[in-house]
Chain A
Amino acid sequence: MTIAVADPNLLEGLAHTPTLGPGDCLVMRNDVFHRTQDKETDRLAISFRVFGSTTVVSRQALMDMGSAKFNNMARVRPAFARRFAAFQIAGCDQISNVLYDTLHDELTKREYNLQLAGGGTELDDTDFEQLIYELAQEYRGGAFGGG
């Protein structure tokens, strides 16, 4: 859904512009509008996302999307394919953030190793599906806290 606001400069009038030096960091909630004001510099920033350790990740949240979200997800296709795969490995539509990270990292490692063994080419769909199934079996057998 697209929402139009009457005054396109509404946010400019409401905004603060904190000045940060090298080594400073800005911590903000995910619902805070922000934009760069560095229009004439070539500075670089890095952004880390921090979640609560008890956060539950749901497949439905991943699947709820419009075209803009899909466009962004498709840009980093391998990363989001692994995120979907984490739910398949756990055999569950809702998993803890910790398990999600564990499964995601293990899949990333194995996929990378298989790619290296295959001369650097991306896994095809059949091999990727096979890898997910193997991990799902291991999880069901007690690996990664499963069982």
Chain B
Amino acid sequence: MALSAGDSLDTDLKVHGFSVVSNALSVAELHSLSTDFESMPDASRPPHPPRFVSTAPRQIIAPKLGALVEKISSPPRARVRSGIYQPAEQTAKVGWHTGSIAFFSFPKYLNVWIPLPSGSAPNATIGVVDPSVLRREGPELAEIAEQNGSLRLVASEGKLVAYDNFHRRYVELPRLDLDKLGVRLTLNWGDALIMRNDVLHRSHDERGDGLAVSFCVVGADTIMRRDHLLNMGASKFRQMAQLRARFLREIAVFDIAQSDHLPLAEYDELLAELIKREHDALQRLKVSQLDYDQFDDLVYELTNDLRRRCSSERLG
């Protein structure tokens, strides 16, 4: 399925949960991402820390993807978040799943999946299950998928087991042949697959030498919630702790705002300020990482600054 941008893509997203956009990125843009990935330290051994797209290529590609998503989906104003590289040697083992660690922060988002030229393959393939088909053939799994942006399915004898993050339980489901229900999409280099976070998908890279990048795109009207971020089981904690610095800041923003929910723009503003001050503190203290007390001091300082700013705005 290869379509050009337009109204049909919006319909595809709403009805089928995914759309393919041809020629979303240029050869030069793909090359900048591949080069960025190759420059990163090898993470082929467990526990496979995720590798995020660096600032420079992200700044080039994010506006383009934002414009693309705004053109074909609602809500119209989109914010492109982090991009994560997905080497097939790691993702192939995961099997059918929805979303990614982006769900830890955002309950609703679009996943823009872009294969990058790698290995010997002439193009890339990925399997997706249309949510409307899943609702018909496996309604229980469809419901769990809608509530779980980072759903993993565990294979068991004669059963399909889903860990339901939302209700924090294992759900044993009748065996469902997802390979049969799914469609296998072939994407050329430069094409992008845009899918909702509840769409089950899996890598079909049998050679295991493929590479893709996945960007999370959220609506600008998103409300960030502490309870969503901190609602976790073992796997989510494991992954968040592996990315300690990143999630530490995300939690700290709520501490600074002294609020359990924040509009995304406000959240981003505080996060950017925290990152800036952390960077400044590292330079000033000549250390590579702040210790616990130093980070707490920084959060406390920002909390006070914000409180003062709010007071003066009220008075003014």
Q: Which residue numbers of A lie inside 8 Å of B, CB to CB?
A: 1-2, 59, 63-68, 70-75, 77, 80-82, 84-85, 87-88, 91, 93, 118, 121-126, 128-130, 132-133, 136
A133 cross-chain contacts in B, Cβ below 8 A: 154, 156, 161, 163, 170
* Count class of interface residues, chain B: 35 or more
Task: Report the separation of the CA atoms of residues A59 and B45 in the bound assembly, to the nearest whole angstrom.
Answer: 31
Contacting pair A81 B238 (CB below 8 A): yes
A82 cross-chain contacts in B, Cβ below 8 A: 234
A132 cross-chain contacts in B, Cβ below 8 A: 234
A-B contact pairs, 20 of them (CB 8 A): A66-B251, A66-B252, A67-B248, A67-B252, A67-B255, A67-B295, A72-B292, A77-B241, A81-B238, A84-B237, A87-B168, A87-B233, A88-B169, A88-B234, A121-B47, A123-B46, A124-B47, A128-B234, A129-B154, A129-B235
Q: In chain B, what residue has the closest Cβ to A69?
A: B251
Task: Report the separation of the CA atoms of residues A19 and B248 in the bound assembly, to the nearest whole angstrom.
Answer: 38
A73 cross-chain contacts in B, Cβ below 8 A: 237, 241
**Known A59-B168, A67-B295, A133-B170; contact A125-B241, beta-carbon cutoff 8 A:** no
Contacting pair B299 A2 (CB below 8 A): yes
B48 cross-chain contacts in A, Cβ below 8 A: 124
B252 cross-chain contacts in A, Cβ below 8 A: 66-67
Contact of A68 among B163, B254, B258, B292 (CB under 8 A): B292
**Known A2-B300, A68-B296, A80-B237; contact A122-B251, beta-carbon cutoff 8 A:** no
Task: Report the separation of the CA atoms of residues A68 and B296 in the bound assembly, to the nearest whole angstrom.
Answer: 7
Q: In chain A, what residue has the closest Cβ to B93?
A: A126
Contacting pair A122 B47 (CB below 8 A): yes
**Known A130-B154, A133-B170; contact A1-B233, beta-carbon cutoff 8 A:** no
B264 cross-chain contacts in A, Cβ below 8 A: none
Q: In chain B, what residue has the closest Cβ to A136?
A: B170
**Known A66-B254, A85-B234; contact A129-B163, beta-carbon cutoff 8 A:** yes
Return the 5 tightest CB-CB contacts between A and B, nearest first. A67-B252, A85-B234, A74-B241, A77-B241, A84-B234
B125 within 8 A of A: no
Residue of A93, A126, A130 with most partner-chain B CB within 10 A: A126
- Assuming A64-B230, A133-B163, what are 15 further A-B pairs, CB within 8 angstroms? A2-B299, A68-B292, A68-B296, A71-B244, A74-B244, A77-B241, A77-B244, A81-B241, A85-B234, A88-B233, A121-B46, A122-B47, A123-B46, A124-B93, A133-B156
Contacting pair B258 A1 (CB below 8 A): yes
Q: In chain A, what residue has the closest Cβ to B303?
A: A2
B232 within 8 A of A: yes
A121 cross-chain contacts in B, Cβ below 8 A: 45-47
CB distance from B38 to the nearest CB of A (A): 22
B247 within 8 A of A: yes
Q: In chain B, what residue has the closest Cβ to A78?
A: B238
Task: Report the separation of the CA atoms of residues A59 and B47 in the bound assembly, to the nearest whole angstrom.
Answer: 25
Task: Report the separation of the CA atoms of residues A75 and B242 in the bound assembly, to the nearest whole angstrom.
Answer: 9
Task: Report the separation of the CA atoms of residues A100 and B213 in the bound assembly, to the nearest whole angstrom.
Answer: 40
CB distance from A128 to the nearest CB of B (A): 7
A59 cross-chain contacts in B, Cβ below 8 A: 168
CB distance from A118 to the nearest CB of B (A): 8
Task: Report the separation of the CA atoms of residues A1 and B257 in the bound assembly, to the nearest whole angstrom.
Answer: 10
B231 within 8 A of A: yes
Task: Report the separation of the CA atoms of residues A129 and B165 in the bound assembly, to the nearest whole angstrom.
Answer: 12
CB distance from B34 to the nearest CB of A (A): 24
Task: Report the separation of the CA atoms of residues A93 and B46 in the bound assembly, to the nearest whole angstrom.
Answer: 29
